[in-house]
Amino acid sequence: MYSIGTLSEHTKVKVPTIRYYEEIGLLAEAGRTAGNQRRYDDAALERLSFIRHARDLGFPIDAIRALITLQNHPDRSCAEASEIADQQLSGVREKMAKLQNLEQELSRISEGCSGTGQAANCYVLASLSDHSKCDHDH
């Protein structure tokens, strides 16, 4: 059995986050000692590790909830899990494309300013003031 602090140390999930996951039903409510301290079993450790890994990969709470539901029904097809992972991958790719556009635009703006002139003629400030000076939509 694990205290909430020990569970936090093992999973690197902060104590308030563990409580939150319990509150929203991602993690089963912990048993309590006579002194009303939470106690978690190995299943809770595994579930919290699962949640932490999914969050590290950027899965939203609703997707994690759906994945946990599938995990709780091992006889069901994994097609839904695959679809959820594909959606997450698609979202990551979209974000990466946007970040690449931002990088290009920021690089262009940054390179357009030598940093030796006066603010009144600063290319960075002018670019931020006038979106039409941008090469990409962002």
| CB atoms closer than 10 angstroms to residue 102 | 12
CB-CB contact of 30 with 48 (8 Å): no
pLDDT band at 111 (very low <50, low <70, confident <90, very high): confident
Residues 56, 8 share a domain: yes
Whether 77 is in a domain gets the answer: no
Does 76 reside within a domain?
no
Q: What are phi and psi of 107, to 5 degrees?
A: -65, -45
State whether residue 119 is helix, strand or coil.
helix
Asked if residue 30 lies in contact with residue 4, where contact means CB atoms within 8 angstroms, the answer is yes
Q: What is the pLDDT of residue 121?
A: 81
Residue 79 domain-assigned (yes or no): no
Q: What is the domain extent for residue 18?
A: 4-60
Domain count, the chain: 2
**Per-residue pLDDT tens digits for 4-59:** 999 999 999 999 999 999 999 999 998 888 888 999 999 999 999 999 999 999 99
Contact 38, 32 (CB under 8 A): yes
CA atoms of 46 and 52, how far apart (whole Å): 10
Asked if the structure places residue 47 within a domain, the reply is: yes
